[in-house]
């Protein structure tokens, strides 16, 4: 029977017979199944599996992508039965069984969100002397840092972005619930309070070694509890930290995507409170935007350089051509750099936006996709370059000397 089915004339006759009646008792059941499989294979070969033509502007972008990104998924319809799961033979390796869980990553996240007690303080502004009065009242339920099951806590106070003016409380011996009740004065004009942040760092004093950091509190909005005209008591959770956070400044930019044109526009608006990188107490900042795909840099563009300022204003647009089907595979790395005429340019801080970014970087990207053709602007805090971005720091000077992606080398002359 199987040899007969291989004959093309026999298959043609059977197809005609099936068209007359699919349930005819004259045709055996195994013949009907063989014919059905042959028709299904013939139908698959006739399906169109070519990718639709795309805009020529996206050719250079797609050339950098892995080959599997170029193949669009083809819908074969619902009439085909799902492929049966193949049985696993003995000795065959199952990769999913060898995937290790990221235990260290989970521990790091839990430590980052772990609370290390609470701290109570109050704020008040003296309009006559133009002074912000910070009163550190007490702390509660601090973690034990010493072998005796206690700590020797004290608090450092900063009014960011100024770190030169550092004040601190007295050290309280062997207690996890210290009462400080100390006042600290910061001269600052009232109109500048909206741009200032209160940073409290709680330490454990150690006479013979380095002091251990218990945690920190950063209050971004000084008007969070009141208008500061009268003293207001505030309780805050002390967040786990191993070293004092460095305030690198903030950058404001907008994102806008046009799906029909496949065009992403990032407009660098301005920066504020950047970290001073020069001896003069200022920086020469510019912004570099890199288009990333799977950790690889595809393109980079940069703004102009603003001399001797920590609060530059740019209002410059940077445009990338990205097809809509690739928007979930790319991200943008925004680096604020300090230009140096002699030596290498230094990175002040970075932030990242994309579908796989964290926090505001992911939310900003999703908001842009949810409202196409509309510019969405946000302030982003700059962070230090992580180990995953170490290559960007090492190659910063070579990137800035390029005007575009490196072109392929010409073939050698015979």
Three-state SS letters, 73-123:
CCCCCCCCCCCCCCCCCCCCCCHHHHCCCCHHHHHHHHHHCCEEEEEEEEE
Same domain, 332 and 363: yes
In the listed set 211, 240, 269, which residue is the last one of a domain according to the structure?
240
Q: CA dihedral defined by 345, 347, 353, 354, rounded to 10 degrees?
A: 70
Structure tokens at 258: 């046009």
Q: What is the pLDDT of residue 144?
A: 83
Q: What tens digit of pLDDT does each residue of 250-303 get?
A: 899 999 999 999 999 999 999 988 888 888 888 999 999 999 988 789 999 999
- Asked if residue 42 belongs to a domain, the reply is no
Q: What is the pLDDT of residue 3?
A: 52
Tell whether the model's pLDDT for residue 356 goes beyond 50: yes
Q: What is the pLDDT of residue 232?
A: 86
156 and 182 in contact (C-beta within 8 Å)?
A: no
Q: How far apart are CA 40 and CA 246, in angstroms?
A: 65
Q: What is the pLDDT of residue 265?
A: 96
Same domain, 178 and 260: no
Q: What tens digit of pLDDT does each residue of 32-46 get?
A: 676 667 666 655 545
Sign of CA dihedral 256, 261, 262, 267: negative
Residue 18 CB partners (closer than 8 Å, separation 6+): 27, 32, 35
Same domain, 300 and 384: yes
In the listed set 240, 263, 297, which residue is the last one of a domain according to the structure?
240
Q: How far apart are CA 177 and CA 140, in angstroms?
A: 5
List the domain range (segments joined by +) for residue 223: 117-240
- Asked if residue 3 belongs to a domain, the reply is no
* Mean pLDDT score, 106-124: 70
Q: How far apart are CA 397 and CA 339, in angstroms?
A: 10
Same domain, 389 and 260: yes
Confidence label for 55 from pLDDT (cuts 50, 70 and 90) = low
- Asked if residue 406 belongs to a domain, the reply is no
Give the CATH number, domain containing residue 162.
2.60.40.150
* Mean pLDDT score, 78-84: 46
pTM over 0.75: no
62-92 burial code (b ≥16 CB/10 A, e <16) = eeebeeeeeeeeeeeeeeeeeeeeeeeeeee
* Mean pLDDT score, 10-33: 55
- Asked if residue 221 belongs to a domain, the reply is yes
What's the gap between Cα 184 and its chain centre? Answer: 37
Same domain, 307 and 391: yes
Q: How far apart are CA 233 and CA 75, in angstroms?
A: 62
Tell whether the model's pLDDT for residue 207 goes beyond 60: yes
Of the given ranges (55-59, 83-87, 158-162, 177-181), which has the lowest mean pLDDT? 83-87
- Main-chain phi, psi angles of 254, to 5 degrees: -115, 150
When divided into structural domains, the chain yields a total of: 2
Higher pLDDT, 58 or 14: 58
Same domain, 295 and 181: no
Q: Which residue has the tokens 């340019």?
A: 345
Same domain, 326 and 295: yes
* Mean pLDDT score, 389-413: 42
32 and 14 in contact (C-beta within 8 Å)?
A: no
Same domain, 193 and 327: no
Q: What tens digit of pLDDT does each residue of 162-172 get?
A: 777 889 899 99
Least Cα distance to 154 among 201, 198, 114 occurs for: 201
Tell whether the model's pLDDT for residue 29 goes beyond 50: yes
Of the given ranges (59-63, 224-228, 295-299, 396-400), which has the lowest mean pLDDT? 396-400
Q: What is the pLDDT of residue 248?
A: 85
- Asked if residue 95 belongs to a domain, the reply is no
Q: What is the pLDDT of residue 395?
A: 42
Same domain, 269 and 224: no
Confidence label for 342 from pLDDT (cuts 50, 70 and 90) = confident
Same domain, 187 and 234: yes
- Asked if residue 377 belongs to a domain, the reply is yes
Of the given ranges (61-70, 114-123, 237-246, 295-304), which has the lowest mean pLDDT? 61-70
Q: Which of 23-37, 275-289, 303-317, 376-390 shows the highest mean pLDDT? A: 303-317
Q: How far apart are CA 404 and CA 301, in angstroms?
A: 8
Q: What is the pLDDT of residue 59?
A: 66
- Asked if residue 413 belongs to a domain, the reply is no
Q: Average pLDDT of the chain?
A: 76
- Asked if residue 271 belongs to a domain, the reply is yes
Same domain, 202 and 319: no
Radius of gyration over every alpha carbon of the chain, rounded to an integer in angstroms: 32
Same domain, 214 and 262: no
Of the given ranges (83-87, 137-141, 294-298), which has the lowest mean pLDDT? 83-87
Q: From the DSSP assignment, how many helices (H) and strands (E) are in the chain?
A: 8, 16
Rounded (10°) angle between helices 8-20 and 29-45: 100
Q: What tens digit of pLDDT does each residue of 367-383 get?
A: 999 999 999 999 998 98
Least Cα distance to 201 among 161, 242, 235, 229 occurs for: 242
């Amino acid at each position: 029977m199987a040899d007969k089915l291989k004959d093309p004339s026999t298959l043609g006759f059977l197809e005609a017979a099936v068209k007359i009646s699919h349930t005819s008792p004259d045709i055996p059941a195994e013949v009907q199944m063989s014919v059905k499989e042959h028709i299904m294979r013939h139908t698959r070969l006739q399906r169109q599996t070519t990718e639709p033509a795309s805009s020529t502007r996206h050719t250079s972008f797609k050339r950098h992508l892995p080959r599997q990104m170029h193949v669009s998924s083809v819908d074969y319809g619902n009439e085909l039965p799902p492929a049966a799961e193949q049985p696993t033979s003995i000795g065959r390796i199952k990769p999913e069984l060898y995937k290790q869980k990221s235990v260290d990553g989970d521990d790091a996240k839990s430590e980052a969100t772990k609370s290390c007690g609470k701290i109570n303080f109050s704020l008040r502004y003296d309009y006559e002397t133009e002074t912000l009065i910070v009163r550190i009242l007490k702390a509660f339920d601090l973690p034990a840092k010493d072998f005796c099951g206690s700590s020797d806590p004290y608090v450092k106070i900063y009014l960011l972005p100024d770190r030169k003016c550092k004040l601190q409380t007295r050290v309280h011996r062997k207690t996890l619930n210290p009462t400080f009740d100390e006042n600290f004065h910061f001269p600052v004009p009232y109109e500048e309070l909206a741009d200032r942040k209160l940073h409290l760092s709680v330490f454990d004093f150690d006479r013979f070694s380095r002091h251990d950091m218990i945690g920190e509190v950063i209050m971004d909005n000084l008007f969070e509890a009141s208008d500061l005209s009268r003293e207001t008591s505030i309780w805050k959770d002390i967040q786990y930290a191993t070293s004092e956070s460095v305030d690198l400044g903030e950058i404001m930019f907008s994102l806008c995507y046009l799906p029909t044109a496949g065009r992403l526009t990032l407009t660098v608006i301005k920066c504020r409170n950047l970290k001073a990188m020069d001896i003069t107490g200022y920086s020469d900042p510019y912004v570099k935007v890199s288009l990333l795909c799977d950790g690889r840099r595809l393109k980079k563009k940069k703004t102009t350089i603003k001399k001797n300022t920590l609060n530059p204003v740019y209002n410059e647009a940077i445009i990338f051509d990205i097809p809509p089907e690739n928007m979930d595979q790319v991200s943008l790395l925004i680096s604020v750099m300090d230009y140096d005429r002699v030596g290498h340019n230094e990175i002040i801080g970075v932030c990242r936006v994309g579908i796989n970014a964290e926090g505001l970087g992911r939310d900003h990207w999703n908001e842009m996709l949810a409202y196409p053709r509309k510019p969405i602007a946000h302030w982003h805090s700059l962070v230090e370059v992580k180990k995953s971005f170490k290559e960007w720091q090492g190659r910063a000077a070579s990137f800035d000397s390029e005007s575009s992606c490196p072109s392929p080398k010409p073939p050698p002359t015979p």
